[in-house]
């Protein structure tokens, strides 16, 4: 029985959790949204309000829900975020009607919203991922849904940064774990959610539903006293809102608690209160859940005819029986109930329906398992091929990297060798130039020494010649003049003086010219008194009656001497 209750309860829970949670004060919530749609607010605000109204009415009034959805679409004008929101709410609209359409809409929303790097887009991505996970539950199983919540929804909500939504995400995960009989893990997530919500949102609808989910988790563990604590907390939150549709969920939680405590008679009036709200708000699936619990209680009270009528009504209404597993369970219960009542033939009919449906489901499950195994095998083969290709690529990359390393190393060595050769060449040329310069210097020094030696030889030769001319030939000419003068005074008559003096003048001129030549070869004033005195004497020498020479020495030291050569 516990497993049966879990099965049916979770179907209801998913009908709730796959949609956004509304305020417990639903009248105020609806009025505010409708006012926005009728106001002059921005298009984005009107679109959002219309989408929220569509989501509110999607289970109770499909036509009105569709109307608001399309009305919101008219406000989308090249706005990617609003387009993504529309895709998400379109998925919500189709969720309980056509799961394939819903899955496509959720995927489209994820595709659009993932391109936007905003907090709001992260939040709606998380909602779309959860909705997509719900649509794939029957194909992939609950592990896929858990993985989606853990790896997609919760990380995106954490990026969004709203603790209310994070707390409720933990509650959603707890519900899935409860269905899979992982009560302890579910309890831990419920505790985390309650800790967050009680601190920051103590009056929120999210906290109300978390209390109810915690109570249900304890009911399935037959821990009625623990469940009562959370049920009482939920009751305090819902009491101020007697007109809220959330009351049906509270009474369903209270029904589970009374069944857990085996207070079956007390549970029947609670079921009737819950049915009142389900009829008022057109909550068909929730109503069927109450009816099934009513059947279970009537059966325990041995009120078989009433119990049978309830089951047949559930089957005829189809909201709950649309799920094949639920229908199979109902067939089994009708078979057992008719057998208990002594209706063997009718019990056999229901047993045959059960067996046929069970075989069909088993066959479908086998095909599903085969498909899963085949898919896993194909995936494994693909992964194996990918791994081989990755290994080959990595090996090639390693070889390329190794070759590149060798090439880089060789290039570096060549560069170093080339740099060394260039350096040696430059050094060689520099040394060659230095050597050539040194050779040139030596040659110049040798040439200078040779020139100096030649000049010194010439100077000495000039000095010797000048001395010979001055002292030798000059002295001889002076002696000749003296001898002529002496001879003249004793031998020549006076009438011949004129010719003699002419010859004597020529001799004096020759002596003067000889001295001039000797002085030019080696000026005594240059040797004895320096350049200035020598230049002064030279100027005085050339002074004539028709030529005046004025000599001024400028920046010439008196002691400066120069080697003279003509």
CB within 8 A of 536, min separation 6: which ones? 525, 551, 553
More confident residue, 487 or 168: 168
Asked whether residue 547 is domain-assigned, the answer is: yes
Q: Which pLDDT value is given to residue 144?
A: 87
When divided into structural domains, the chain yields a total of 1
Chain centre distance of CA 248? 49
The pLDDT score that the predictor gives to residue 442 is 87
Q: Is residue 241 part of a domain?
A: no
Would residue 543 count as lying in a domain? yes
> Is the residue at 556 inside a domain?
yes
pLDDT band at 364 (very low <50, low <70, confident <90, very high): low
Q: Nearest 5°: phi and psi at 480?
A: -60, -45
**Contact status, residue 108 vs residue 87, Cβ threshold 8 Å:** yes
Domain that holds residue 545: 523-566
Among the residue ranges 17-21, 297-301, 416-420, 470-474, the one predicted with the least confidence is 17-21
Give the whole-number percent of the chain exceeding pLDDT 90.
Answer: 27
For residue 500, pLDDT over 80 is answered with: no
Residue with tokens 């390329």: 400
Per-range mean pLDDT, top range of 7-16, 69-78, 232-241: 232-241
Assess if residue 566 is contained within a domain. Answer: yes
Tokens of 178: 């409860």
DSSP class of residue 547 equals: B
Say how far apart CA 535 and CA 521 lie, in whole Å. 15
Band of pLDDT at residue 20, cut at 50, 70 and 90: low
Burial class (CB in 10 A: 0-12, 13-18, 19+), 340: middle
Greater model confidence, 163 or 214? 214
How many angstroms separate the first and last alpha carbons of the chain?
Answer: 145
Q: Is the pLDDT of residue 439 over 80?
A: yes
Which residues, listed in sequence order, are joined to residue 547 by a DSSP beta bridge?
544
DSSP structural state of residue 20: P
Q: Which residue has the higher pLDDT, 395 or 239?
A: 239
Q: What pLDDT does residue 96 have?
A: 80
pLDDT digits (tens, 9 = 90+) for 179-236: 778 889 999 999 999 999 999 899 999 999 999 999 999 998 889 999 999 999 999 9
Please give the Cα distance from 347 to 370 (Å, whole number).
34
**Is 38 part of a structural domain of the chain?**
no
Residue 532 lies in a domain: yes
* 558 pLDDT above the threshold of 80: no
* Residue-level pLDDT at 254: 94
Mean pLDDT of the chain: 81
Q: Report yes or no on 564 lying in a domain.
A: yes
**Paired tokens of 507:** 């001799």
Q: How far is CA 14 from the centre of its chain?
A: 37
Question: Two tokens at 44?
Answer: 């984005």
Indicate whether 535 pLDDT > 80.
no
| Alpha carbons 231 and 214: distance in angstroms, whole number | 8
Q: Tell me, what's the pLDDT at 565?
A: 44
Q: Is the pLDDT higher at 12 or at 363?
A: 363
Backbone CA torsion sign across 404, 407, 410, 414: negative
**Which residues contact residue 358 at a Cβ distance below 8 angstroms, ignoring those fewer than 6 apart?**
328
CB 314 within 8 A of CB 321: yes
Q: Which H/E stretch holds residue 367?
A: helix 344-467
Task: Answer yes or no: is pLDDT of 368 > 80.
Answer: no
pLDDT tens digits for range 326-356: 778 888 888 888 888 888 888 888 888 888 8
Neighbouring CB atoms inside 10 A of 247's CB total 21
Nearest to 155 by CA among 183, 130, 188, 187: 130
pLDDT of residue 19: 47
Q: What is the mean pLDDT of residues 89-102?
A: 89
Helix 80-94 vs helix 43-57: crossing angle, to nearest 10: 10
């Amino acid at each position: 029985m516990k497993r049966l209750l879990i099965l049916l309860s979770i179907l209801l829970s998913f009908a709730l959790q796959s949609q956004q949670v509304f305020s417990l004060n639903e009248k105020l919530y609806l009025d505010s949204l409708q006012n926005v749609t009728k106001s002059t607010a921005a298009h984005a605000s009107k679109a959002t309000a219309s989408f929220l109204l569509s989501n509110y009415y999607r289970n109770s009034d499909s036509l009105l829900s569709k109307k608001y959805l399309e009305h919101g679409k008219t406000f989308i004008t090249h706005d990617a975020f609003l387009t993504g929101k529309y895709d998400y709410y379109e998925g919500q609209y189709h969720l309980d009607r056509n799961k394939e359409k819903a899955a496509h809409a959720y995927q489209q929303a994820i595709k659009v919203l993932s391109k936007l790097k905003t907090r709001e887009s992260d939040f709606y991505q998380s909602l779309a991922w959860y909705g997509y996970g719900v649509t794939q539950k029957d194909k992939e199983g609950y592990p896929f849904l858990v993985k989606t919540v853990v790896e997609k929804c919760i990380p995106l909500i954490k990026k969004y940064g709203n603790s209310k939504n994070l707390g409720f995400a933990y509650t959603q995960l707890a519900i899935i774990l409860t269905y899979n009989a992982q009560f302890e893990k579910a309890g831990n997530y419920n505790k985390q959610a309650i800790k967050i919500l009680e601190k920051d949102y103590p009056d929120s609808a999210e906290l109300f539903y978390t209390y109810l989910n915690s109570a249900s988790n304890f009911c399935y563990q037959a821990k009625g006293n623990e469940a009562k604590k959370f049920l009482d907390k939920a009751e305090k939150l819902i009491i101020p809102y007697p007109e809220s549709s959330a009351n049906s969920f509270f009474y369903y939680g209270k029904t589970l608690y009374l069944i857990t405590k085996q207070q079956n008679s007390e549970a029947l009036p609670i079921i009737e209160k819950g049915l009142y709200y389900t009829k008022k708000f057109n909550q068909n699936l929730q109503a069927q859940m109450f009816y099934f619990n009513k059947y279970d209680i009537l059966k325990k009270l041995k009120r078989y005819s009433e119990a049978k009528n309830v089951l047949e009504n559930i089957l005829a209404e189809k909201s709950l029986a649309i799920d094949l597993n639920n229908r199979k369970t109902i067939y089994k219960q009708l078979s057992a109930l008719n057998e208990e009542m002594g209706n063997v033939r009718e019990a056999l009919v229901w047993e045959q329906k059960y067996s046929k449906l069970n075989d069909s489901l088993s066959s479908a499950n086998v095909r599903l398992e085969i498909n899963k195994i085949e898919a896993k095998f194909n995936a494994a083969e693909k992964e194996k091929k990918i791994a081989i290709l990755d290994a080959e690529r990595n090996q090639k990359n390693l070889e390329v990297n190794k070759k590149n390393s060798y090439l880089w190393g060789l290039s570096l060595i060549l560069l170093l060798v080339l740099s060394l050769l260039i350096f040696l060449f430059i050094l060689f040329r520099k040394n060659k130039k230095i050597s050539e310069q040194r050779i040139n210097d030596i040659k110049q020094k040798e040439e200078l020494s040779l020139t100096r030696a030649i000049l010194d030889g010439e100077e000495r030769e000039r000095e010797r010649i000048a001395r010979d001319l001055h002292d030798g030939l000059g002295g001889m000419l002076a002696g000749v003049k003296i001898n002529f003068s002496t001879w003249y005074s004793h031998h020549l008559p006076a009438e011949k003086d004129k010719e003699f003096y002419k010859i004597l003048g020529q001799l004096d001129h020759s002596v003067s010219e000889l001295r001039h030549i000797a002085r030019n070869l080696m000026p005594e004033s240059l040797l004895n008194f320096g350049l200035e005195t020598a230049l002064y004497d030279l100027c005085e020498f050339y002074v004539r009656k028709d030529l005046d020479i004025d000599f001024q020495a400028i920046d010439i030291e008196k002691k400066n001497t120069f080697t003279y050569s003509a």
